Structures are given as C-alpha cells and as structure tokens.
C-alpha cells in the first residue's frame, strides 16, 4: 500500500486494487460503475451465486518489480502471480531487502496476484535459509521462495520443505536438474530458456526444456516447469504443445501477445463500423506498441 501511495503521488495516476479505486478519473469511475452493475445483474440472474472461473492448467507469471507494469498487467486478468529475482529488483529500482520485498509482495497481492515468488540470497545455507524464512513469513500461503539450483540452494530447499514452505528451484540449464528439484519437493523448477539458447546455440535450449518436461511427466510429478527467460511468444506456444503450462514473462513479451497488426486492424475496422452505425465512441484504447517500447528492460539481455 505504501508503494501504491508513493506511485500515485509521483505519477498522478489512479491505482486500483480489487478492493476499489482511489482518485479515479470520471472515465474510470464510469467504467467501474458499469462493471459493478454488470456483476449485480449477474448475481441476481444466477440466484445470488457467483460462478467459478473456467479452470485452466495454463499459469502465467509477470516477471517484473515495476509498480506501473504490475498495475497494468494484473488488471488484464492474464496473470496468476508475480516473479522476481535480485537482477530484476536492481533493474526496476527496488531494494533487495526483506523490507523492500515485503512491500512489493503485499502490493502485488493487493493488485490481484494469487502468489508471489521471491528469491532468497546469500553465499551459504545459513544465510540463504535465514532470508528464505523471512520471505516466507510475509504470507506463508501465497509466497513461494525461489532458490538457485546449487548444492547450497538445494540444502536450503530441503530445510524449507520440512516446514512446508513452498519452493521454486531456479536457474536450471540441463534436464537432470529437474530430477534434483523433484527429489527435494520443489513446487516449481525454472529453466532459463533464452539463456539456454545462447549457451547451447540455435534452438537447443527449447529442445532441452522439452526434455525437462518429459522427465517430469515420466516421474508422474505434480511439479510445474516454470519457463523463464522467454524472448518470443511463439516459443511459449511450441512448449505448450510439448506439455509445458507455466511461464513467467516480462512486460515486453506480455505486450507482444496483443500486438498482432492484423488483429489491431480488424479491431479498428470494427470500431469504425460501430461508430458509423450509431455506436458510442467510448474509452480510448491504449497502444500496446507504446507499452512495449516503454517496457522496463531489454529482453535481449534476459
């Protein structure tokens, strides 16, 4: 909430959470009122019972620590949660401290994230576990602690799992590492797809991630492969065809999901037809081309 208030004061923009909106513009107030009326009518027509959302195995995370990007992208309903690491924190200007991450996590949860993945740091098991327990204490049910897939990280993961703390092993580059993650009881294992392509050449990283998914399915494991360092949305569709259902993507890649020029042209054509046929010209559409250009980092370096 502190970060939201500071962001609101700095940018002069409205910041909305699922609990409501403050300092809303007339346009956003009108939209919120329309949405509330639709929900009221929906509840009445269903006898007061709200229907559950359609279940899906697909799970998308936003890979960012930027308040502006979190506010934008969690409002779309696409994202299950937020992921961060010390590099992302540094790029987005968030202090790599338990206090800084506490504020970030609570803000993301207020904006609609169902879970937040925070990475512990430290050169030893003692330091890693100390930070990890502090991070997990922010919200034991909705915080997942990320740890590097090293000997120290795995030892720390074992300690956390003894206390039923949720864990992601991250920084995977080779299929055998998913066996380590499964054996220690991690809920997620995160390979770095783009960096694997850099390391192995061509699209070999993609092939290695497919092998990781096969290993998980071969063990009949419930662990999810959290594919990170995604540089092209097309990679995601190829991997979903191989059974991968969980991805963390940057705001730039998120914008590219909506930046198909043919779809944009079709939407413009629909709007012109509606306007010429009595349709009311309503909310101005935000250009996702502009959002992509203003994304918080260059994905080529991810």
How far is C-alpha 224 from the geometric centre of its chain's CA atoms?
14
Give per-residue pLDDT as tens, 145-194.
999 999 999 999 999 999 999 999 999 999 999 999 999 999 999 999 99
Q: What pTM value is reported for the model?
A: 0.79
| Predicted pLDDT at 132 | 98
**Burial category of 277 from C-beta neighbours within 10 Å (exposed 0-12, middle 13-18, buried 19 and up):** exposed
What is the Cα–Cα distance from 194 to 59, expressed in whole angstroms?
19
Which tokens sit at 7? 């962001």
Q: What percent of the chain has pLDDT over 70?
A: 74
Burial category of 240 from C-beta neighbours within 10 Å (exposed 0-12, middle 13-18, buried 19 and up): middle
Q: Are 204 and 192 in contact (CB under 8 A)?
A: no
Low-confidence ranges of the chain (pLDDT < 70): 1-56, 280-302
Q: If 0-12 CB within 10 Å is exposed, 13-18 middle and 19+ buried, where does residue 298 land?
A: exposed
Cα 151 from Cα 253, distance rounded (Å): 32
Q: How far apart are CA 242 and CA 239, in angstroms?
A: 5
Read off the DSSP letter of residue 228. B
pLDDT of residue 16: 43
Query: What ranges in 242-294 are assigned the alpha helix state H?
Result: 251-256, 261-276, 288-293
Q: What is the pLDDT of residue 116?
A: 98
Q: What is the pLDDT of residues 205-242, one digit of tens each?
A: 999 999 999 999 999 999 999 999 999 999 999 999 99
CA distance 160 to 186: 10
- How much is the mean pLDDT over the chain? 86
**Which pLDDT does position 119 carry in this prediction?**
98
Type and span of the H or E element at 16: strand 15-17
Instruction: Map residue 143 onto helix, strand or coil.
Output: strand
Asked if residues 104 and 138 have their Cβ atoms less than 8 Å apart, the reply is no
Q: In whole angstroms, what is the distance from residue 214 CA to residue 80 CA?
A: 24
Q: What confidence score (pLDDT) does residue 62 get?
A: 98
- For the chain, give every domain's residue range: 59-256
d(CA 199, CA 204): 9
Token couple for 73? 């992208």
Q: Which of 98, 106, 99 has the alpha carbon at shortest distance from 82?
A: 106
- 168: tokens are 């992601």
**Of 262, 250, 266, 214, the residue nearest 73 (C-alpha):** 250
Could you say which of 3.40.50.2000, 3.40.50.300, 3.20.20.70, 1.20.90.10 is the CATH number of the domain covering 59-256? Answer: 3.20.20.70
Q: What is the pLDDT of residue 15?
A: 41
Report the pLDDT value the prediction gives residue 19, as an integer from 0 to 100.
39
Cβ-Cβ contacts under 8 Å for 38 (sequence gap 6 or more)? none
């Amino acid at each position: 909430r502190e970060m939201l208030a500071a962001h609101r004061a700095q940018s002069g923009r409205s910041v909305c959470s699922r609990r409501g909106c403050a300092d809303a513009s007339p346009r956003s107030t009108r939209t919120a009122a329309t949405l509330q009326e639709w929900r009221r009518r929906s509840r009445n027509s269903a006898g007061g019972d709200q229907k559950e959302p359609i279940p899906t195995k697909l799970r998308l995370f936003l890979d960012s620590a930027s308040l502006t990007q979190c506010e934008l992208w969690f409002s779309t309903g696409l994202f299950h949660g937020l992921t961060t690491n010390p590099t992302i924190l540094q790029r987005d200007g968030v202090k790599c401290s338990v206090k800084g991450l506490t504020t970030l996590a609570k803000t993301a949860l207020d904006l609609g994230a169902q879970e937040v993945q925070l990475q512990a740091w430290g050169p030893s098991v003692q330091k890693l576990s100390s930070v990890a327990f502090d991070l997990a204490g922010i919200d034991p049910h909705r915080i997942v602690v990320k740890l590097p897939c090293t000997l120290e990280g795995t030892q720390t993961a074992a300690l956390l799992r003894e206390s039923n703390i949720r864990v992601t092993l991250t920084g995977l580059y080779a299929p055998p590492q998913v066996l380590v993650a499964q054996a220690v009881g991690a809920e997620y294992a995160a390979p770095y797809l783009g960096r694997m392509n850099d390391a192995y050449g061509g699209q070999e990283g993609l092939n290695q991630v497919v092998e990781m998914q096969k290993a998980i399915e071969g063990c009949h494991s419930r662990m999810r492969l959290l594919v990170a360092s995604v540089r092209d949305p097309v990679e995601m569709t190829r991997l979903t065809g191989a059974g991968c259902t969980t991805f963390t993507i940057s705001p730039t890649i998120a914008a590219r999901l909506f930046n198909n020029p043919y779809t944009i042209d079709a939407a413009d054509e629909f709007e012109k037809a509606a306007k010429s046929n009595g349709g009311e010209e309503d909310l101005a559409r935000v250009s996702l081309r502009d959002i992509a250009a203003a994304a918080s980092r260059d994905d080529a370096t991810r």
